[in-house]
Amino acid sequence: MKLLVVGSGGREHAIAKKLLESQGVDQVFVAPGNDGMTLDGLDLVNIGISEHSKLIEFAKENDIAWSFIGPDDALAAGIVDDFNQAGLKAFGPSRLAAELEWSKDFAKEIMVKYGVPTAAYGTFSDFEEAKAYIEKQEAPIVVKADGLALGKGVVVAETVEQAVEAAHDMLLDNKFGDSGARVVIEEFLDGEEFSLFAFVNGDKFYILPTAQDHKRAYDGDKGPNTGGMGAYAPVPHLPQSVVDQSVETIIKPVLKGMIAEGRSYLGVLYAGLILTADGPKVIEFNSRFGDPETQIILPRLTSDFAQNITDILDKKEPAITWLNEGVTLGVVVASEGYPLDYEKGLPLPEKTDGDIITYYAGAKFAENSRALLSNGGRVYMLVTTADTVSAAQEKIYDQLKKQDTTGLFYRHDIGGKAL
Ligand code: AMP
Ligand code: GLY
């Protein structure tokens, strides 16, 4: 069987690598992918994620059994609808189901309608109304661009003035373009943040191990928000009862609600949660796998990934099994300056193998050789599994110390909350 993964980051590297390890999978293509992936035997296809008809043509000509869609913008653009219309199977939600991610306001409406616990909120497109609402709340308060903003459209304001300024930036100064033409203003939720993922088809869902991302750029959760600087799974200090409660109060009602709305969900559902004093509450839904969470969750899958997804697509019961010991932890290495401006073309260390996996994101071969150079914000990620968080940290940080990371940076405290 031949498969296609759409996307180019570390998440897609992890998905494609795991699929290629599955029995019965002969070849995995990644469109457009990155050169680092070829070191794991993956085949790159030079087609962009928004070129749906070219992707469809490729999938048909190459007998692709099904495609796995990685990025949110592809899903929001209706790639799965287009594949399905062309008679092709794809693992990912339709454009209408993916609205859970691409409109925060829609996600909020669904949560309110189906009783899913989340922060109290108001949605505004008029600045004066937003300002009046903010002035009635207490700080801290959260201001979010309604649409997709690559994780950067959220301001956790420490004061009412800062919140008003953020709303001004989004609604009047157009800082986030169309994404910020509407803002969601939200109550600040206090508690531990974690990610809960499920593989879903309609009302059937399969929960993945819990994970915790580190969104801020620098140690101690300082600096700007990024796509994610490292993660680990499972989160050892989250009891199973919290997962069970999240399933009952969040996953089940939202999937039921989506069916009732005629937007039955297929694919990976990603719930970003905060464990508050009143139990888990939703900060956001994403309609896809997390990056970097995928890179630390999928190595824990002990069943046949391709067979599992085939079964879910066919509405058969999949036999999904996970490693139930130890912890898998990964640290992202990024270009200095990320998430703002950064240089490209820096030489990267050799790929690690065996005990420590290297997943590539922004990596590209030099003009005339197979030496990998940096080519993006998040460049690569080292991932390992060990008995404890501190043992995993030791392995990864020892390895990173041996690598030449000139011009690159990483956090030194991934997994720190578990210690
Ligand atoms: P999001 O893009 O919605 O994941 O938000 C980015 C980050 O902002 C989250 O990972 C949280 O750390 C923080 N955040 C978002 N919404 C809230 C909230 N209502 N209360 C507290 N923190 C929040
Ligand atoms: N890890 C954050 C995200 O994928 O959105």
CA 291–ligand 2 middle distance (angstroms): 5
* H helices, E strands: number in the chain: 13, 23
CA 17–ligand 2 middle distance (angstroms): 19
Q: DSSP label at 251? A: I
pLDDT in tens, 50-108: 999 999 999 999 999 999 999 999 999 999 999 999 999 999 999 999 999 999 889 99
pTM over 0.85: yes
Q: Which amino acid is at 292?
A: P
Q: How many CA atoms, within 13 angstroms, populate the side-chain half-sphere of residue 308?
A: 25
Over pLDDT 90: what percentage of the chain? 93
pLDDT recorded at residue 353? 81
Dihedral class, residue 239 (left if φ above 0, else alpha if ψ from -120 to 50, else beta): beta
- Which residue minimizes the CA distance to atom 2 of ligand 1? 151
Q: Three-state DSSP class for 143?
A: strand
CA 143–ligand 2 middle distance (angstroms): 18
Place of tokens 């800062």: 162
- Which residue minimizes the CA distance to atom 19 of ligand 1? 188
Q: Which amino acid is at 165?
A: E
Ligand lying closest to the C-alpha of residue 216: 1
Ligand lying closest to the C-alpha of residue 293: 2
DSSP states of 69-100 as a string?
Answer: E--HHHHHTTHHHHHHHTT--EES--TTTTHH
Ligand lying closest to the C-alpha of residue 211: 2
pLDDT in tens, 15-28: 999 999 999 999 99
Q: Is the CB of 72 under 6 A from ligand 2?
A: no
13 phi/psi in degrees, rounded to 5: -60, -45
pLDDT recorded at residue 150? 62
Contact 88, 66 (CB under 8 A): yes
119 phi/psi in degrees, rounded to 5: -70, 145
Ligand 2 atom closest to Cα of residue 231: 1
Which residues surround ligand 1 with Cβ inside 6 Å?
Answer: 119, 142, 151, 154, 156, 186, 188-189, 193, 215, 225, 272, 283-284
Average pLDDT, the chain: 96
CA 272–ligand 2 middle distance (angstroms): 9
Contact 155, 162 (CB under 8 A): yes
> Quick one: CA torsion of 232, 235, 236, 242, rounded to 10 degrees?
-170
Ligand lying closest to the C-alpha of residue 283: 1
Q: Is the CB of 151 under 6 A from ligand 2?
A: yes
124 phi/psi in degrees, rounded to 5: -140, 145
- CA-angle at 299, arms to 294 and 302, nearest 5°: 125
Q: Pick from 79, 64, 74: which is nearest to 29 by CA? A: 64
